[in-house]
Chains A and B, each alone.
Chain A
Amino acid sequence: EAEVAQSPRYKITEKSQAVAFWCDPISGHATLYWYRQILGQGPELLVQFQDESVVDDSQLPKDRFSAERLKGVDSTLKIQPAELGDSAMYLCASSSNVVYFNEQFFGPGTRLTVL
């Protein structure tokens, strides 16, 4: 069964360091999402791609966060510099462009701890 892949699964870093997360969506899925899930809360959308284009990054802290999906397939989310408040689970999801219903398929996430 096709799945969304993410790596690494866990990342511990010190504040002011740079971190990067990688996501490989389900093959053929044109839409890719990055979410941040703070402990005890639901996921919050950071950025949404349609193929290689950003369609929504209104909640992305652009002074320190960047995201790219250069070939419209896999994607990288970067934080530089990391801050203590960035500790969270970072989830990637993908969906196809079917007309009837948009089901988002989630990866297992990357748990980031900033010390």
Chain B
Amino acid sequence: GEDVEQSLFLSVREGDSSVINCTYTDSSSTYLYWYKQEPGAGLQLLTYIFSNMDMKQDQRLTVLLNKKDKHLSLRIADTQTGDSAIYFCAESGGYSSASKIIFGSGTRLSIRP
């Protein structure tokens, strides 16, 4: 079945860039997502990329997609303490509400002063 994998932890210094990586197995993935989960809260959609795109930039966030290698990354520029959270990579085979979203296990981002 479909699988999404990501490293469990990342520690960066405040002000540096954070890069969170993810690999997925479903070659028919249409949308790839990054969600953020703060302690005690639900998931919040940060950004998404359509499978025919290589890159998407949204303020401090840059998403890179290598469809050939099934690799997705999220870069957060100028990382701040408020960026401390768990970041989930996810994919779905379509954009409609009927398409199931498969989540990775999450990468916990911690910020060093």
> Which A residues form the contact surface with B (CB < 8 A)?
4, 30-31, 40-45, 48, 50, 55-56, 91, 93, 95-97, 99-104, 106-109
Asked whether, in the complex, the Cβ of B97 is within 8 Å of the Cβ of A95, the reply is yes
Interface segment, B12-20, B71-79, B101-109? B101-109
Task: Tell me the minimal C-beta distance from A9 to chain B in angstroms.
Answer: 8
Which residue of the partner chain A has the closest CB to B42? A106
For residue B43, CB closer than 8 A to chain A, the reply is yes
Give the distance in Å from the alpha carbon of A45 to the alpha carbon of B101 in the complex. 8
13 contacts between A and B (CB under 8 A): A42-B4, A45-B100, A48-B100, A95-B97, A96-B97, A99-B96, A101-B48, A102-B95, A102-B96, A102-B99, A104-B101, A108-B41, A109-B42
Contact with A along B14-57 (1 / 0, CB 8 A): 00000000000000000100000000111111001000000000
Task: Tell me the minimal C-beta distance from A4 to chain B in angstroms.
Answer: 7
Give the distance in Å from the alpha carbon of A106 to the alpha carbon of B88 in the complex. 13
Asked whether, in the complex, the Cβ of B98 is within 8 Å of the Cβ of A55, the reply is yes
> Which B residues form the contact surface with A (CB < 8 A)?
4, 8, 31, 40-45, 48, 88, 90, 92, 95-101, 103-106
Partner of A43, one of B8, B98, B99, B103: B103
Give the distance in Å from the alpha carbon of A107 to the alpha carbon of B37 in the complex. 11
Asked whether, in the complex, the Cβ of A97 is within 8 Å of the Cβ of B43, the reply is no
The 8 closest A-B pairs by CB, nearest first: A42-B103, A106-B42, A31-B97, A106-B43, A102-B97, A108-B42, A41-B105, A95-B97
Partner of A41, one of B48, B92, B106: B106
Give the distance in Å from the alpha carbon of A101 to the alpha carbon of B45 in the complex. 12
Asked whether, in the complex, the Cβ of A104 is within 8 Å of the Cβ of B103, the reply is no
Task: Tell me the minimal C-beta distance from B46 to chain A in angstroms.
Answer: 11
Partner of B105, one of A42, A55, A101, A104: A42
Give the distance in Å from the alpha carbon of A50 to the alpha carbon of B97 in the complex. 9
